[in-house]
Chains A and B, each alone.
Chain A
Amino acid sequence: MALLRVENVTKRFGGLEALKDVSFSLHDGQVKALIGPNGAGKTTLFNLISGIDRPTSGHVFFRDEDLGRLAPHMASRLGVGRTFQHSKVFDDMSVLDNVKVGRYGRSHAGVFSAFLTLPRHRREEKAISEASLRALRRVGLGDRAHESAGNLPVGDRHLLEIARSLASEPTVLLLDEPAAGLNNEETAQLAEIVRRVRDDGVTILLVEHDMGFVMDISDEVVVLDYGKKIAEGPPLMIRNDEEVIKAYLGEDL
């Protein structure tokens, strides 16, 4: 049984068809990559899967829930976490506070219990702090918890977004170009972290341009071109697929 099913999804923005009848599914424990030239519709698809946008037609099912029918914040509550291609770190907050926002869906204190700092609220705050620190340690940022997030270098910002999302205990984690702007060493570290997260039972779907990284880490690859799925399969098969090579025209896979 697939964890996540993208079924005949089409997305139009005015006259532009960003996605055309795309279908694929994601199985429990997989690392799957979504690749394609710029403008192929990868981020659009991510926005649909993370519930932030709705398909024009077709459905995105997470288990049995149709994400297109739910409010945007519900995808996270159900277990779909994500990071962003263009960093959306909360710059004026501390690294730890950024991750604490990730615990939002797993905690309950409302405005009145916050006003009065009831004992129940204090206990919950303590649990939030502990869980957030654990999430930070998972990506190796444990000792930077109290720095201002705005001061982090690019690579660490990606890791912070991953930690923030992990804090929400996702079943599926969507990573949007996590290796962008990283050097080789940092990319290797990232691959190690992604593997560890997968080993902890999180299913991963990632968009990435770094083909070395993609081929190294993925169990399966989906290729989009001009909003259409042109191939799907294990990395080795994708590497030799004629249509894929044509789409990338001369680029070395």
Chain B
Amino acid sequence: MAALVFLRRHLAFLAFSVVILSAPLFTGNIYYLSILAFMATRLMIALGLNLLMGQAGQISLGHAAFVGIGAYGSAIMTTRWNMDPWLAMLFSAVFAAAVAGLIGVPTLKLKGHYLAMATLGFGEIVHILLVQFKWLTNGTDGIGGIPSLAIGGIDFGDPQMFHWLVWGVVLLMLRISLNLVDSRVGRSLRALHRAEVAAMSLGVNTSFRKVQVLMVSAVFASIAGSFFVHYVQYVSPVSFTLTFSVILVTTVVIGGLGNVWGAVWGSVLMVLLPEYLKRYNQDYTLLVFGVMLIVIMIFLPGGLVSFKTLVAKTRERLGGARTASAAGPGPARGS
């Protein structure tokens, strides 16, 4: 009985884990695995951004820069200073968190979208530094020869092994994000999003919580950047532009902000779609993203993740009273 309750509660998570972890058993195709690896790093970033935007209602337009800190941190520390890749990943994440704190403390005390503006500027500054600090970053030439990850004798340069490693980390991040949403901290974030003054009057230290969730999202992004560069073994500044930050925001908005699973759907769609469009004409990608964003905002304002509600509503409208009580839009939850 207890096992059944557990299964029901975690069904979505377990099903997703099984599907994604068994993927390499069905295909050894390097191209497919590389898309999935790319999707994994995208999902790491999207999970953090989903917590920041969906739960706390704060917008970051510079998240590419946090990914860049992880990517360049790992690249520089491993190739130039011969540091252990895992240690480099850790240091980069700590640095990203510190930077997020420095941006967050002054801006998140203010009400309104100051964080969006501050992160927009921050993203541009990081991009310029990556290009200009040639002595450290090698400028637009980028850094190559980044070693692949390894633990003991296991080499994660192998695409299948990397798949299990990176998706293992993603699943861990997904699990802890779901846990967070369903906790005291998660509730306080949703509360301050909806009515900050009311949250304060109930004892929530709103500025602290906002800065903290920004730092968490920066850490997720930085770790994604580290995994990314260890996989492709090369990094250059072109990956970390405002366009990428906007694509990241689009990913979580299209997926759905009210629910952690929105990050999953958004990442799947926003990684697969460009791969598909590439066959026709790459220039159309951004155009298609833009149109898709508009269409989803109009017809599915809760994002892809709210599709079930839309289906239920439509059925309700068509089926009349017979199915009316079957399903309604419940309060936003994440488990």
Determine the distance from Cα of A117 to Cα of B180 in the docked complex, in whole angstroms.
8
A104 touches B200 (CB 8 A): no
Which of A77-85, A221-229, A230-238, A240-248 faces chain B? A77-85
Choose among A72, A88, A104 the residue that contacts B195 (Cβ–Cβ < 8 A): A88
A93 touches B186 (CB 8 A): no
Determine the distance from Cα of A111 to Cα of B203 in the docked complex, in whole angstroms.
16
Q: How far is the CB of A166 from chain B (nearest CB, A)?
A: 11
Residues of chain A within 8 A of B331, CB atoms compared: 92-94, 97, 148-150
Determine the distance from Cα of A127 to Cα of B176 in the docked complex, in whole angstroms.
21
Determine the distance from Cα of A181 to Cα of B178 in the docked complex, in whole angstroms.
38
A116 touches B202 (CB 8 A): no
Q: What per-residue 1/0 map shows which CB atoms of B189-203 lie under 8 Å from chain A?
A: 011001101111111
Determine the distance from Cα of A164 to Cα of B199 in the docked complex, in whole angstroms.
10
When C-beta atoms are compared, the residue in chain A nearest to B206 turns out to be A73
Q: How far is the CB of A6 from chain B (nearest CB, A)?
A: 18
Indicate whether B330 reaches chain A with its CB closer than 8 angstroms.
yes
Choose among B176, B183, B329, B332 the residue that contacts A125 (Cβ–Cβ < 8 A): B183
Given contacts A88-B195, A93-B332, A148-B330, contact A168 B203 (CB under 8 A): yes
Indicate whether A38 reaches chain B with its CB closer than 8 angstroms.
no
Determine the distance from Cα of A117 to Cα of B188 in the docked complex, in whole angstroms.
16
Indicate whether B117 reaches chain A with its CB closer than 8 angstroms.
no
Residues of chain A within 8 A of B203, CB atoms compared: 73, 76-77, 104-106, 168
B176 touches A116 (CB 8 A): yes
Given contacts A114-B180, A148-B330, contact A104 B197 (CB under 8 A): no
Indicate whether B8 reaches chain A with its CB closer than 8 angstroms.
no
Interface residues of A in 112-167 (CB under 8 A from B): 114-117, 121, 124-125, 128, 148-150, 161, 164-165
Determine the distance from Cα of A114 to Cα of B185 in the docked complex, in whole angstroms.
7
Residues of chain B within 8 A of A203, CB atoms compared: none
Given contacts A92-B258, A116-B179, A117-B179, contact A76 B190 (CB under 8 A): no
A52 touches B176 (CB 8 A): no
B180 touches A104 (CB 8 A): no
Residues of chain B within 8 A of A36, CB atoms compared: none
Residues of chain A within 8 A of B138, CB atoms compared: none
Indicate whether B218 reaches chain A with its CB closer than 8 angstroms.
no
A104 touches B204 (CB 8 A): yes
Q: How far is the CB of B161 from chain A (nearest CB, A)?
A: 26
A76 touches B202 (CB 8 A): yes
Indicate whether B65 reaches chain A with its CB closer than 8 angstroms.
no
Q: How far is the CB of A158 from chain B (nearest CB, A)?
A: 13
A52 touches B190 (CB 8 A): no
A101 touches B187 (CB 8 A): yes
Interface residues of A in 160-182 (CB under 8 A from B): 161, 164-165, 168
Determine the distance from Cα of A103 to Cα of B202 in the docked complex, in whole angstroms.
8
B side interface size, CB within 8 A:
30
Given contacts A91-B194, A92-B332, A110-B185, contact A104 B179 (CB under 8 A): no
B197 touches A114 (CB 8 A): no
Indicate whether B170 reaches chain A with its CB closer than 8 angstroms.
no
A81 touches B201 (CB 8 A): yes
Given contacts A90-B190, A93-B194, A111-B212, contact A52 B200 (CB under 8 A): yes
Q: How far is the CB of A106 from chain B (nearest CB, A)?
A: 8
Indicate whether A102 reaches chain B with its CB closer than 8 angstroms.
yes
Determine the distance from Cα of A77 to Cα of B330 in the docked complex, in whole angstroms.
31
A101 touches B188 (CB 8 A): yes
B186 touches A101 (CB 8 A): no
Indicate whether B322 reaches chain A with its CB closer than 8 angstroms.
no
Q: How far is the CB of B50 from chain A (nearest CB, A)?
A: 15
Determine the distance from Cα of A128 to Cα of B195 in the docked complex, in whole angstroms.
21
B187 touches A93 (CB 8 A): yes
Q: How far is the CB of A135 from chain B (nearest CB, A)?
A: 12
Residues of chain A within 8 A of B330, CB atoms compared: 94, 148
Determine the distance from Cα of A156 to Cα of B329 in the docked complex, in whole angstroms.
20
Give the residue among B187, B198, B206 with the most A Cβ atoms within 10 A: B198
Q: How far is the CB of B313 from chain A (nearest CB, A)?
A: 15
Determine the distance from Cα of A24 to Cα of B283 in the docked complex, in whole angstroms.
69
A-B contact pairs, 14 of them (CB 8 A): A72-B200, A72-B206, A73-B201, A73-B205, A76-B203, A92-B194, A101-B191, A107-B184, A111-B216, A114-B179, A114-B183, A117-B183, A149-B331, A168-B203
- Which 7 A-B pairs have CB atoms at the shortest separation, nearest pair first? A105-B203, A114-B183, A88-B198, A76-B203, A115-B176, A88-B195, A94-B331
Besides the known contacts A73-B204, A93-B191, A117-B179, 12 further A-B residue pairs in the complex with CB atoms under 8 A apart: A72-B201, A88-B195, A89-B195, A92-B258, A93-B194, A97-B187, A103-B184, A104-B203, A109-B183, A128-B184, A148-B331, A168-B203
